[in-house]
Amino acid sequence: MTSAPSPGAVADAQPSNWVDRLAPRAWRPFLRLARADRPIGAWLLFWPCAWSSGLAAVAAGATLPNLWHIALFALGSIAMRGAGCAYNDLVDRDIDAKVARTRSRPLPSGQVTPKAAAIFLAALLLVGLAVLLALPPFAVLVGLGSVVPVALYPFMKRVTWWPQAMLGVCFGWGALMGWAATFERLDWAPLALHGAAFLWIIGYDTIYAHQDKEDDALVGVGSTALLFGARTRPILAGFYAGAAALLALAVGLAGGGALSYLGVAAFAGHCAWQIARLDIADPTLCLKLFKSNREAGALVFAGLLADALIGA
């Protein structure tokens, strides 16, 4: 016998997630607003940062990435993913109310008022700013460069079929940060890494968007899922192949060794598995494949970490 869902539970959250089971009841709407009941987004924001730190360690001949930077990126990913979700939900609350998968979210369902959401957003942004200011000055400047694309992202679905491209810019920004924090400059290697993250993110977010394509079409917003339609599989194969190629280029530019390339090859294999399994008519499978990108990102980082440990 299954237990009844927690009052206010979000439709697309994992049943019996830690927020619904363990968090104080008064905190739950705000944790749901930050998607703490669905931590996959924080992982996907974190991995490009970790890649960048790992790539910098390989380039510098260090045995490990800077662990202080990794800790800051982990905390920043949690805070800024939560801030991004709160901001997006404030902007999209009228649209979310019309979409079956999102109408149970805290704002459209009335669990959180817009004013309370704005205050919560401000608190998360302060945490993110504190994390950013703990990095070297050049990295702070690079991080501030993400403000404009992040601010624009929620509006892209209203004006373009390519909101996933703007998400790629935003979520891929971390690919610049680890290198900038280590060397206090940017080079071609982190730029190639950002390009890889950009293509990867368009790919996995297109898979995610196939869950909502019917509702998106009715509401009148754009997505690459709607744009690609039945051509999604070959187009995504191209994006994922491009991501793997740019990852390999970044490793080469940073002077990486065989273990870094092995991580890239494992990533490419995981992406090929996603393409082979993909069924755009199966929303449950689309969500599963989207979430599996946590492991795809981990494979790249594992290769870089092993290369740093053994190659230094």
Q: Which of 15-19, 53-57, 166-170, 290-294 has the lowest mean pLDDT?
A: 15-19
pLDDT, one tens digit per residue, over 292-303 is 999 999 999 999
Assign a CATH topology to domain 27-311. Tetracycline Repressor; domain 2 (1.10.357)
pLDDT greater than 70 at residue 4: no
pLDDT, one tens digit per residue, over 83-97 is 999 999 999 888 888
Tell me what pLDDT residue 312 has: 59
Tell me what pLDDT residue 268 has: 98
Tell me what pLDDT residue 218 has: 79
pLDDT greater than 80 at residue 16: no
pLDDT, one tens digit per residue, over 192-222 is 999 999 999 999 999 999 998 888 887 888 9
Q: Which of 7-16, 23-32, 177-186, 234-243 has the lowest mean pLDDT?
A: 7-16
What predicted TM-score, i.e. pTM, was given to this entire model?
0.93
SS3 readout for the chain: CCCCCCCCCCCCCCCCCHHHHHCCCCCHHHHHHCCCCCCHHHHHHHHHHHHHHHHHHHHHCCCCCCHHHHHHHHHHHHHHHHHHHHHHHHHHHHHHCCCCCCCCCCCCCCCCCHHHHHHHHHHHHHHHHHHHHCCCHHHHHHHHCCHHHHHHHHHHHHHCCCHHHHHHHHHCCHHHHHHHHHHCCCCHHHHHHHHHHHHHHHHHHHHHHCCCHHHHHHHCCCCHHHHHHHHHHHHHHHHHHHHHHHHHHHHHHCCCCHHHHHHHHHHHHHHHHHHHHCCCCCHHHHHHHHHCHHHHHHHHHHHHHHHHHHHC
Tell me what pLDDT residue 215 has: 80
Residues 125 and 109: their CA atoms lie apart, in Å, by 24
Question: What's the chain's Rg over C-alpha atoms?
Answer: 19
Q: 238: burial class by Cβ within 10 Å (0-12, 13-18, 19+)?
A: exposed
Tell me what pLDDT residue 208 has: 96
pLDDT, one tens digit per residue, over 251-261 is 999 999 999 99
Tell me what pLDDT residue 7 has: 60
Banded pLDDT at 126 (limits 50, 70, 90): very high
> Angle CA(233)–CA(246)–CA(294) in degrees, nearest 5?
60
Tell me what pLDDT residue 3 has: 46
Tell me what pLDDT residue 8 has: 66
pLDDT, one tens digit per residue, over 50-87 is 999 999 999 999 999 999 999 999 999 999 999 999 99
Instruction: Give the mean pLDDT of the chain.
Output: 93
Please report, for the chain, the start and end positions of each structural domain, with discontinuous segments joined by +: 27-311
The number of residues in the chain equals 312
What number is the average pLDDT over the span 134-157? 96
Q: How many CB atoms lie within 10 A of CB 220?
A: 10
